[in-house]
Chains A and B, each alone.
Chain A
């Protein structure tokens, strides 16, 4: 028992640390630009590719711009894009998942579409959409929503399928409660844990995907700083100015790691069975779902559709 306690304490400590780091990054993203003395896009030719120093903590880039400054501004873009994508995916995906799980007719059509969307690796779907729509912030968010919505719909649908046969739902139905009320007042609150956890993971994935898109040059366009576009610009200076490539990547890795740890922690905290093996099972389910596996589909079908 003590060992288990130790473990969960360790995990909580890690989670709290991630929470603090994430809060700091968000605060920096919000207030940092007000404190910075220089603009992130103005060119200072005389400061070109300076190594890190007290004056320029992370060094300067090929236009003499302060990299720390650009990472702070970039945090705004990367976090806003990731967060919007995660929130929209969660809201739309949850609604679609509830409807699909509850109404059998909609389910057939909707899930075939979801299957089709899942035939594309998420990043490829996003690349294709951004290439077609054009790489402004709004379109990047749209592309990411399309890329990650199938996972969300599947997860919410499978919870709904399990919940809708519960007696309290039948009771609500029998007493004449409307479908909307059943969906949002009875089913949704009981399916909220996987939704929050998955939403956190999608936030993390969306930050990575935005960075990849911008790095490849189809996402956020320079001179606008996003973590990915800074890295994309830094590539050709890798040998002369390694600091230019290192720091933006550290920012991405720390943020995404914190979000992933937090997602893990949320599951432990919100799930009453978290200390027994069901937790481990859930983790694998997340992993498989994330890479679009059929495995979970099967176990869900087995458990529910019988």
Chain B
């Protein structure tokens, strides 16, 4: 197991390097002088020159990359061009809403996906199965920002059950926190439900045809116990990896959802930094998301190896 973890950790090195190179190259693709672009047309030559110095733009490109990358590995993501705050502080200020949203969305998806997948397998020869399949496909086909608009229209405007914009931290009370996040969490979870439910159903159906399930049935176990104890638990193992990676993926989906619901989270920070041309913030927050993604993947891999010994003896 330790050998597996070390192997897995070592494989992170090239990935981290490539991630850094990608973000660095993309930001340098921006046409024109970044300093000029950031300051706008009204800036004087001296201002541009001093910003260039500050950002290290007068250095050769390779040196720029390694200075920048070295800083990042030490946790220094640079400073915002506008507020002059450290980018990491800005990210940490915005991370709370995004974490709340992600956790809530995952909870909602699991609460819906797991029972419906089990139900679909239980009633697999009835009309419910095609219905279930169409449902999962619909889940991955609906644009989430459109669904957000529909939900705002329905529950925010017509029924006025929930607020349609903004965020309250959980310290302000449970209901204010939940009521602001319930619609965005539903929006974010729809795609996850589609993916997780289908994955789980397919996994269970595969197990259902195995010999040991037939044996379990032959020895007189009730269908319910066969499904829950044998099929479900086995199908859950591969599904954990999907749940893990989808948590990381939700961080990306949050960009759209947070914008629609005006939630001051990490996704909004990314969009705001684009419209205000605050490139250090853009760079930093995208790197942060990629970092979380890589980290979650790592944890999921280790958990998976722990749950399924076949992986670590490879």
Contacts and interface: CB of A to CB of B under 8 A. Distances in A.
A124 B255 contact: yes
A288 B137 CA distance: 14
B157 A239 contact: yes
B245 A293 contact: yes
Interface string A246-267: 1011001100110011001000
B104 interface: no
Interface string A278-291: 00110110011011
22 contacts: A3-B125, A112-B15, A117-B18, A120-B19, A121-B248, A121-B251, A123-B255, A124-B252, A124-B286, A127-B255, A204-B141, A228-B143, A231-B145, A246-B150, A252-B143, A253-B142, A256-B141, A256-B143, A260-B141, A277-B206, A284-B238, A294-B300
B153 interface: yes
Contacts, number: 185
A231 B149 contact: yes
Given A284-B198, A294-B241, A295-B238, A249 B301 contact: no
Nearest to A143: B26
B138 interface: yes
Contact of A260 (B140, B199, B246, B310): B140
Contacts of B195: 287, 290-291
B314 A302 contact: yes
Contacts of B220: none
- Describe A's contact surface by its main secondary structure: helix
By Cβ-Cβ distance, the 5 closest A-B pairs, closest first, are A121-B252, A116-B18, A249-B146, A257-B141, A256-B141
Interface string B163-203: 00000000000000000000000000000000100110011
A148 B286 CA distance: 17
Given A14-B134, A231-B143, A283-B202, 12 more contacts: A7-B130, A119-B15, A120-B289, A121-B248, A122-B252, A128-B23, A131-B274, A204-B141, A217-B275, A218-B271, A248-B146, A257-B138
Interface in B1-56: 14-15, 17-19, 21-23, 26-27, 29-31
B64 to A, nearest CB: 16
A215 B146 CA distance: 9
A287 B199 contact: yes
Contacts of B203: 284
Interface string A213-232: 00111100000000010010
Contacts of A290: 195
B245 A253 contact: no
Contact of A127 (B146, B260, B270, B290): B270
A200 B147 CA distance: 23
B294 interface: yes
Q: Give the size range of A's interface with the partner.
A: 35 or more
Interface in B276-314: 282, 286, 289-290, 293-294, 297, 300-301, 304, 310-311, 314
Nearest to B14: A112
A197 interface: no
Most interface-central of B27, B145, B199 (chain A CB within 10 A) = B145
Given A121-B293, A291-B245, A249 B149 contact: yes
Contacts of B137: 257, 260-261, 264
A132 B145 contact: no
Interface of A: 3, 7, 10-11, 14, 112-113, 115-117, 119-125, 127-129, 131-134, 204, 208, 211-212, 215-218, 228, 231, 234-235, 238-239, 242, 245-246, 248-249, 252-253, 256-257, 260-261, 264, 277, 280-281, 283-284, 287-288, 290-295, 298, 301-302
B253 A123 contact: yes
A249 B19 CA distance: 34
B242 interface: yes
B152 interface: yes
B253 A253 contact: no
B205 A280 contact: yes
Contacts of B275: 217
Contacts of B259: 216
A292 B249 contact: yes
B202 A281 contact: yes
B262 to A, nearest CB: 11
Contacts of B255: 123-124, 127, 216
Contacts of A211: 143, 145
